[in-house]
């Protein structure tokens, strides 16, 4: 199993548009873009890569456009704040991306009333904390990426109301603590990556409600303690990556071609070494 950064979209057609953040005119444009997570093209509003957003509570000052389905800010270290009241301009967004920028904080006001959103990409920013109500208005969210940020802990309320979430990426942060109830609401979760963090222990309670998990990436942590029964209720599990940890180092999977599994081996190894 490998984790790789996937190119999220590419531009097909471009037209001119202008927007404003706190009375500063920022050049932007609309693109007809292919979003691989949806396998479809979406009309996407994006800010030009040479502009700066340095003030909080900025608003997009274009007219309301119900055809826009995605909002994206890419590869711009001068973008420090997401806009607010986005729903007033683009009420039908299904995808929202702030990728490889300098955003330190995202809040409920950045996503409020965007109830149609299915994918949020916030990878490779400077985010240190996610409040419990940040994603509360996103009941249809299926994909959430927070990889490559500066999160240190995952509390018990961070992912409340995300009952349709299927994929969660928390890899490449500084996480050293995860509440035992952090993933309780994520009953539809299929894939989770918490690789490349500083986690030292996990129990069966951490994934007790995630019975539909198929892949778990826990490689490159500092795990010294695991419960041998933590994977017992996951009947759809295909792979568990535990490479480069302290008490265990391995990639355990179901070999579909030969109808064999290494999960019994994993359980015995946890009992012996962790």
What structural domains does the chain harbor?
A: 9-273 (3.80.10.10)
Instruction: Let me know how long the chain is.
Output: 274
Contact between 206 and 178 (Cβ < 8 Å): yes
64: number of Cβ within 10 Å: 10
Those residues with Cβ within 8 angstroms of residue 264's Cβ, 6 or more apart along the chain or in another chain: none
235: number of Cβ within 10 Å: 8
What is residue 8's predicted lDDT score, i.e. its pLDDT? 53
Q: Distances from the Cα of 274 to the Cαs of 3, 222, 228, 265, 269, in angstroms? A: 25, 12, 8, 13, 8
Q: If 0-12 CB within 10 Å is exposed, 13-18 middle and 19+ buried, where does residue 196 land? A: buried
Residues 61, 73: Cα–Cα separation, whole Å: 16
Per-residue pLDDT of the chain (274 residues; tens, 9 = 90+): 444 444 455 443 433 344 444 435 556 788 989 898 888 899 999 877 777 778 788 787 788 999 999 999 899 898 898 888 999 999 999 999 999 999 999 999 999 999 999 999 999 999 999 999 999 999 999 999 999 999 999 999 999 989 999 999 999 999 999 999 999 999 999 999 999 999 999 999 999 999 999 999 999 999 999 999 999 999 999 999 999 999 999 999 987 776 677 888 899 999 999 9
Full-model pTM? 0.89
- Hunting for tokens 């996103």 — which residue is that? 138
């Amino acid at each position: 199993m490998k984790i790789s950064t996937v190119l999220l979209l590419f531009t097909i057609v471009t037209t001119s548009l202008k927007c404003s953040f706190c009375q500063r005119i920022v050049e932007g444009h609309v693109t007809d873009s292919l979003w691989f997570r949806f396998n479809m093209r979406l009309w996407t509003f994006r800010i030009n890569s040479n502009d700066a957003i340095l003030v909080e509570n900025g608003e997009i000052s274009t007219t309301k456009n119900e055809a826009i389905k995605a909002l994206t800010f890419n590869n711009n270290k001068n973008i420090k704040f997401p806009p607010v009241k986005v729903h007033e301009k683009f009420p039908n967004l299904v995808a929202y991306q702030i990728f490889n920028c300098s955003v330190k904080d995202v809040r409920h006001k950045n996503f409020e009333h965007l109830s149609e959103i299915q994918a949020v990409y916030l990878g490779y920013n400077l985010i240190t904390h996610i409040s419990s109500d940040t994603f509360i208005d996103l009941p249809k969210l299926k994909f959430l990426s927070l990889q490559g940020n500066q999160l240190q802990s995952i509390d018990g309320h961070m992912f409340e109301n995300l009952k349709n979430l299927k994929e969660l990426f928390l890899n490449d942060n500084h996480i050293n603590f995860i509440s035992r109830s952090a993933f309780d609401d994520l009953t539809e979760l299929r894939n989770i990556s918490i690789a490349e963090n500083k986690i030292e222990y996990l129990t069966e309670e951490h994934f007790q409600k995630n019975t539909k998990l198929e892949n778990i990436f826990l490689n490159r942590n500092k795990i010294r303690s695991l419960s041998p029964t933590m994977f017992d209720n996951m009947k759809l599990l295909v792979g568990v990556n535990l490479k480069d940890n302290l008490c265990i180092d391995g990639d355990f999977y179901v070999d579909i071609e030969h109808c064999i599994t290494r999960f019994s081996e994993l359980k015995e190894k946890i009992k012996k070494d962790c």
